[in-house]
Amino acid sequence: MEAQVQRPEFRENLSWRKPVNGFKWVGPGASGADCDWELDDLADESQQGTLQQEMIDQQPPWLIDGSTRFCDAEASDYSPQKEVALHRILADVEPSADGILRFANQYGNLFGNDRYADGKVYVKRRDSQGREATETDVLGESLARWQREIQHIRAAVHLWDLIGPNEQDPNIKELKRIIIQRGGVVRFEHHGAPEGIIAAPGYQDEFLRGGKRQTDVVGAAKRFLVALVNSNLHRTASPQLTIVGLSQAEEFRTTISPRNLLGAMWLMLFLEISEKRVIKKCPECDTWFDATRNPTRLIYCRTHGAGCRKKASRRRLKDKGLLE
């Protein structure tokens, strides 16, 4: 008798903390930012090594907790998984200081207070005499890092939308605009997005155009989407072995857990792709919702009960002069 293989469970129930007083930008470079902040040169060696590899993450301004006392800042917890498509909300964020601040104040920062996360930097404040004015180490996230993360997840969501959840009706015309072959190399090229080599001589060269053969843009797009999702999941989520059940009924389960809010969003996209979920935006309230069970008929969200559907119906009747 063959042993039954247990499908891994994907743990989405991350509890994430948001400071009650929200966040703020500090350091030069953002309108209205407190400019008396600078990078802390006394960060531990492990983080200094990371900063040398990721120089872009050092650049101000930095997003920090908006509290005046960082050591005992009040915070509230929430569950990101209650948002059906937080990854799509991030992809829609205007990558400006104001746009990112609005997102962070509503959903939290990307890496939390994990001092070892590669997206965190230490910053400190100087008073008018140049003395250090902060009571403890302050962790921040740079505007540049936020913009890079938004670009990555926006590119992945855009590719998935062009391929399509059923993969039967891809947007070939738009894919040809971003999957480009030049000089014997097939690349992904999209404004503001991470460029990537999809095929080159000796590397996935079945996607190289030759003679009358056209580039397989759908296949190339799938390869790049897989690479983009996997590389980001690798750094933001991890497989774990857990035990469930009681006493003699205990058994092992495997899970994939996000390390931070960014990991939770990449895991949401991973599940949307792997389970072919159909995620739509309500045309009335702009809320993302899961329409997988009936994608052709579900147009409006149920966040407000049947409110959005009724509101749209009343507007149509009013437009036709059937309702005052």
Is the pLDDT at 211 greater than 50? The verdict is: no
Rounded Cα distance, 75 and 152, in Å = 28
Least confident segment among 46-50, 151-155, 191-195: 46-50
Q: Residue 281 carries which DSSP code?
A: E
Buried-exposed string 56-88: b where 16+ CB fall within 10 A, e elsewhere = ebebbbbbbbbbeebeeeeeeeeebbebbbbbb
pLDDT (mean) for 175-189 = 88
Is the pLDDT at 212 greater than 60? The verdict is: no
294: which 2 tokens? Answer: 């009936």
Rounded Cα distance, 270 and 280, in Å = 16
Percent of the chain with pLDDT over 70: 79
Confidence of residue 51 (pLDDT cuts 50, 70, 90): very low
pLDDT (mean) for 262-274 = 94
Is the pLDDT at 268 greater than 90? The verdict is: yes
pLDDT digits (tens, 9 = 90+) for 20-50: 889 999 988 777 667 788 887 645 444 544 4
Write the single-letter amino acid at 112. G
Is the pLDDT at 275 greater than 50? The verdict is: yes
Full DSSP string of 12-27: ----EEEETT-EEEES
306: which 2 tokens? Answer: 């049947």
Rounded Cα distance, 70 and 267, in Å = 30
Phi then psi for residue 175, to 5 deg, are -65, -35
Which strands, in side-by-side order, build the sheet including 37-39? 23-26, 62-65, 138-142, 121-125, 37-39
Rounded Cα distance, 131 and 148, in Å = 33
Instruction: Report the candidate in 260, 242, 259 with the shortest Cα–Cα distance to residue 251.
Output: 242
Full DSSP string of 188-201: E--TTSPPEEEEBT
Distance from chain centroid for Cα 66: 22
86 forms bridges with which residues in the sheet? Answer: none
Please, is 102 exposed, middle or buried when counting C-beta atoms within 10 Å of its C-beta (0-12, 13-18, 19+)?
Answer: middle
Between 143 and 256, whose confidence is greater?
Answer: 143
For residues 287 and 303, the answer to whether their CB atoms sit within 8 Å is yes
Q: Residue 209 carries which DSSP code?
A: -
Angle between helices 143-163 and 261-274 (to 10 degrees): 10
pLDDT (mean) for 188-211 = 76
Instruction: Report the candidate in 105, 108, 87, 97 with the shortest Cα–Cα distance to residue 150.
Output: 87
What is the predicted pLDDT for the residue at 6? 52
Write the single-letter amino acid at 34. D
Confidence of residue 1 (pLDDT cuts 50, 70, 90): very low
Between 319 and 274, whose confidence is greater?
Answer: 274
Q: What's the farthest any 2 CA atoms get from each other in the chain?
A: 77
What is the predicted pLDDT for the residue at 198? 87
Between 63 and 253, whose confidence is greater?
Answer: 63
What is the predicted pLDDT for the residue at 129? 60
Rounded Cα distance, 198 and 205, in Å = 9
CA distances from 109 to 100, 146, 204, 218 (A): 9, 9, 37, 34
What is the predicted pLDDT for the residue at 170? 92
